[in-house]
Structure 1
Amino acid sequence: MEIYGLCAPGFEALYDAFAKNFRECGDTGAAFAVRQHGELICSLWAGSADRDAERPFTEDTLANVFSSSKGILALLAMQQVAAGNLDLDRPVADYWPEFARGKDSVTARQLLCHRSGLVAFRGRVKDSLIYDWQAACDEVARTEPWWAPGTQQGYAPFLYGWSLGGVIERVAQKPLLELYREMLAKPLDLDGGFGANGHKSQRIADVSPLKQPLPELRENAIGRAIKEDRKGPVSMAFSNPVSLMMGTNSSEWRGALIPAANGHFSARDLAAVYGDLSKDSPDTLPIEWVKEAAREQSCGRDKVLQAEVSFGCGFIRSSNAADLRFGGPEGFGHPGAGGSVGFADPECGLGLGYVTTRLGQSLFMDRRAVGLVETLYGLL
């Protein structure tokens, strides 16, 4: 496998770690990028962007990063907080009256740190719903929480995007995609965005499962919870509708706005976003609000993820677990289903991004990203 890109002097070992993912861990198309103190110190890419190996994977190839999208959405929300348009502790219904049904006390902070109870649609919804932004937002507004808001932590895999995105649009008085291009894509010169159309890069990678699953870093407790209660919040959060788990290479998925899960970004994009947030004076968000976003807002065994997780405002905070270790204790970011990840480590002034076309089954980072991160920190 031919590896393309660059490593700054002293970081050449990252080349070997990246190549190892292709030799031993099943990668067939992937990219890895790191910024430190604003400078690009690593950008590597290799493989193909399609299943037939006819299109090469390039530095600006966009891969579906699934829940890594949530960190980008959270940043857009925090920008509205910094601008004075959104109060973290004011009820969402004050900005979005239709949202009040059973959740009139839910605040923006609770949405961001997954304490709203709004984790899944209650009744079965049509498969096509997720491709209709307005219809999905309306359905979220009508949905009652699964438990009393504020009482428990429960990750919202998909509803997070429509609930938070709906609030952002109302306080900014702009469509979410327009706001993203204005506030993030242009200032940071990003290749991709939510969905996969109309962005700087038109190089879209197809995703598919790893041919040989990697050894798990932790038990798949979500799968067990789904089997135990097919109508419970965990099962409904991931499979209602079933189109949430299917068709991620389809034109419908790529053309829709599903901001919790269908962000299409390059590794260079994720490194740019988190590299900016790791600086002493970020360009995208005042430092006091970066610190608030990274500060622990909720921590405990998550009722949906079935794991111990610490959340800031939309970001997962670094922990001692290898698959959630985002550098030092001040690190924060967001992994995505299948293996992608982006994170910031303010202590080292570092932003990192990894994207792949081969989807693993780990809950958070898998051995590919963990190996790259451990190699990187062994060089710092």
Structure 2
Amino acid sequence: MVCGEFEPGFERVRDAFEANFRTRGEMGAAVCVYSNGRKVVDLWGGLADPESQTPWHRDTIVGMMSVGKGMAALCVLMLADRGQLDLDEAVASYWPEFAQAGKAEITVRTLLQSKAALLFADAAPDGSGFDWDTMIRSFESQAPEWEPGTKGAYHTMSAGFLLGELVRRVDGRPLETFFDDEVAGPLGVDYRFGLRRADFPRTAKISAPLDQTLLDQMATPGTPLHRAWRIRPRPADLRANPSNDPDYLMARFPSANGQGNARAVARVYAALAESGELDGVRLISRELIDQARTPSWEDICPMTGMYTRYGAGFVLPDETTVPWPGRRAFGHPGLGGALGIADPEARLAFAYSPNHLDNGAGLGERCTALIDALWSDRAQ
């Protein structure tokens, strides 16, 4: 059932991955670890599609949900590292229409820190989330929920649009093209925003428990998550999981539809764990890495109700939501348990990509078991 390879000293990661299938309800997944710039664990197994009994192959990809927000933030930081934008400059300096409705003083750093208070796109019609121009016009007219910079909240729906449009305004390329050209291509990673139809046969099918915590909130009128996510179109087949809908897979929707696997995401974070460079490919400087992982706020998030520690574009570890031992690590989780994370002090990078979502609001027991096993192996 489990395929791949691991180096001696990482047996407990392999054992925990196998136990996920036996005892923790894993359907299909992959896990990858880099240590000191080298890939030391690369495992996959289970079913990519339980209905057709298609196995998870080495090149299977899957929607990793909000893991893509970290990739979008990386693109903004790369532009800052190249001197194409200033983190302490107003967003409106690069995107003039953004200045409307009290947003003229919001800086790029405030946007990255998830302190811009732009959680919603109230002017966008229901179901319009795949129309980039409509969504951007809505964010331009949207007023912040409170004074920007005074309080943090996870921009669960809006971050991908806001960061993606900033990349386009500064660089001229859409986010997905910038990422392909500047990150995925040079590093040789199999991760992208917006799939091609040719990728569909190797794309795992997402499944979710009926009581998935955050999905329930998204579907419940009156909740902040419903107010944010009502812009997501419903699939033509109302019985289908929206995350498997072809229109969703191909859309420009970087807050949630980045598709890849643990091997790809771990390689990106391995570069960040190695002072921004891996195998001769430089992404960002150590200085920008340190800014990305400097805490900007920690509190119960008013959007999700989850305790959250945030840096600049990345989530930081805590005891509950992202239980990673190294408190200076940084990365981004995805709905249902996916994760990519870098720990520069330990020179570790870790990623996990499942297709069956955990029913809680955090990483869940399967991802946590792998993290615990990784650190147990290191303690031997």
2:334 match: 336
Once the two structures are TM-superposed, the CA of residue 226 in structure 1 deviates from its matched residue by: 8.6
1:177 match: 176
2:70 match: 71
Inter-CA distance 200–49: structure 2 relative to 1 (3 Å threshold): closer
Once the two structures are TM-superposed, the CA of residue 300 in structure 1 deviates from its matched residue by: 2.2
2:91 match: 92
- 1:170-197 CA-to-partner distances (Å, cap 9, x unmatched) read 1112222221111110121111211222
Once the two structures are TM-superposed, the CA of residue 42 in structure 1 deviates from its matched residue by: 0.4
TM-score normalised according to structure 2 size: 0.90
Once the two structures are TM-superposed, the CA of residue 348 in structure 1 deviates from its matched residue by: 1.1
- 1:118-154 CA-to-partner distances (Å, cap 9, x unmatched) read 0012246231x21122222222222222222112211
Q: Which amino acid in the other structure matches residue 179 of structure 2?
A: Y
1:378 match: 376
Inter-CA distance 222–131: structure 2 relative to 1 (3 Å threshold): closer
- 1:210-238 CA-to-partner distances (Å, cap 9, x unmatched) read 48x79xxxxx69967996xx445343123
SS at match of 1:181: helix
> In structure 1, how many angstroms separate the alpha carbons of the residues matched to 2:119 and 2:303?
8
Q: Which amino acid in the other structure matches residue 113 of structure 2?
A: C
1:217 match: none
Contact 2:11 2:377 in 1 (8 A): no
2:228 match: 237
User: What pairs with 1:69-148 in structure 2 (closer than 5 Å)?
Assistant: 69-102=68-101, 103-123=103-123, 125-127=125-127, 129-148=128-147
> In structure 2, how many angstroms separate the alpha carbons of the residues matched to 1:200 and 1:40?
25
- Correspondent of 2:248 among 253, 259, 263: 253
> In structure 1, how many angstroms separate the alpha carbons of the residues matched to 2:159 and 2:119?
8
> In structure 2, how many angstroms separate the alpha carbons of the residues matched to 1:221 and 1:44?
28
User: What pairs with 1:53-64 in structure 2 (closer than 5 Å)?
Assistant: 53-64=52-63
> In structure 2, how many angstroms separate the alpha carbons of the residues matched to 1:27 and 1:201?
22
Once the two structures are TM-superposed, the CA of residue 240 in structure 1 deviates from its matched residue by: 4.0
Aligned length: 369
> In structure 2, how many angstroms separate the alpha carbons of the residues matched to 1:131 and 1:4?
36
Contact 1:38 1:279 in 2 (8 A): yes
Once the two structures are TM-superposed, the CA of residue 203 in structure 1 deviates from its matched residue by: 1.8
> In structure 2, how many angstroms separate the alpha carbons of the residues matched to 1:224 and 1:379?
37
> In structure 2, how many angstroms separate the alpha carbons of the residues matched to 1:281 and 1:336?
22
Contact 1:68 1:342 in 2 (8 A): yes
> In structure 1, how many angstroms separate the alpha carbons of the residues matched to 2:14 and 2:88?
45
- 1:56-107 CA-to-partner distances (Å, cap 9, x unmatched) read 2122211101111111111111001111111112111111111112111111
> In structure 2, how many angstroms separate the alpha carbons of the residues matched to 1:62 and 1:134?
28
In terms of mean alpha carbon deviation, does 115-124 or 73-82 score higher?
Answer: 115-124
Contact 2:132 2:252 in 1 (8 A): yes
Inter-CA distance 269–198: structure 2 relative to 1 (3 Å threshold): farther
1:204 match: 203
1:26 match: 25
> In structure 2, how many angstroms separate the alpha carbons of the residues matched to 1:201 and 1:350?
31
Inter-CA distance 193–49: structure 2 relative to 1 (3 Å threshold): same
> In structure 1, how many angstroms separate the alpha carbons of the residues matched to 2:34 and 2:198?
22
Contact 2:29 2:355 in 1 (8 A): yes
SS at match of 1:358: coil
1:162 match: 161
Inter-CA distance 246–236: structure 2 relative to 1 (3 Å threshold): farther
Q: Identify unmatched segments of 5+ residues in structure 1.
A: 215-219
Once the two structures are TM-superposed, the CA of residue 206 in structure 1 deviates from its matched residue by: 0.8
1:348 match: 346
Once the two structures are TM-superposed, the CA of residue 265 in structure 1 deviates from its matched residue by: 1.1
> In structure 1, how many angstroms separate the alpha carbons of the residues matched to 2:193 and 2:246?
13
> In structure 1, how many angstroms separate the alpha carbons of the residues matched to 2:303 and 2:267?
30
> In structure 2, how many angstroms separate the alpha carbons of the residues matched to 1:199 and 1:182?
19
SS at match of 1:324: coil
In terms of mean alpha carbon deviation, does 52-61 or 147-156 score higher?
Answer: 52-61
Q: Identify unmatched segments of 5+ residues in structure 2.
A: none
